[in-house]
Homo-oligomer: A and B are copies of this chain.
Amino acid sequence: MSNSIEFFFDFSSPYGYLAAQEIDKLGEKHGRSVVWKPFLLGVTFKETGIPPLMQVPLKSEYSDHDLKRSARRLGVPFIWPDPFPFPSVAASRAFYWVEREKGADAAKALALALYFQAFGAGRDIATAEPVIQICDSLGHEGADEGVQDAAIKDKLKEVTGDALERKIFGSPFFFVDGEPFWGHDRIAYIDEWLAKGGW
């Protein structure tokens, strides 16, 4: 088994946006690479029957407050995208296409740009059109074909199937040496876990 940190996230997950700002720095601190794995959380919601975060009374108000507070702490903007929630298929496929064509670092840069567009600027990445525009702006031409590529579609299905099999029910979700950690608020635990070598 590789000793990389696995970072599962959905592009429509606001806490995934926050985790994306921090996780590579945390990996660096402990000499660990981080493998980013966007997946379709909606598929796992069907499995658990958990309603999306912002559809639960009281909890949604608190989460709005907590997200903005957590973003302030990281020094990044937070604005709800419109529409929300939104389908993350196009963004996820673009990620895997850029990863295949240009490598993991380029794909991470794209993921951060997509996340920023959605939760930093409050804009729409729900359809292929804005996703392709962001790819273009980063010099990744051909994304219109990339997001329709059969092998890329299969890759997203495969990762989402893997997420289900590994009992992932939320975003962000991390594995460190096989140990599962759920939620942006578990990043401090991961830090401690890596420092101590578990406990």
Contact = CB atoms under 8 A, between A and B. Distances in A.
Contacts of A154: none
A61 B66 CA distance: 25
A14 to B, nearest CB: 15
State the majority secondary structure of interface residues on A: helix
A185 interface: yes
Contacts of A62: 167, 169, 180, 182
Interchain residue pairs A-B with the least CB separation, the first 7: A58-B169, A185-B185, A58-B167, A188-B188, A59-B169, A48-B58, A48-B57
A183 interface: yes
Contacts of A61: 167
A54 interface: no
Nearest to A72: B199
A129 B51 CA distance: 38
A138 interface: no
14 contacts: A44-B58, A47-B58, A48-B56, A48-B59, A49-B56, A50-B56, A56-B169, A58-B167, A58-B168, A62-B167, A62-B182, A72-B199, A183-B185, A185-B186
A69 B169 CA distance: 19
A172 to B, nearest CB: 13
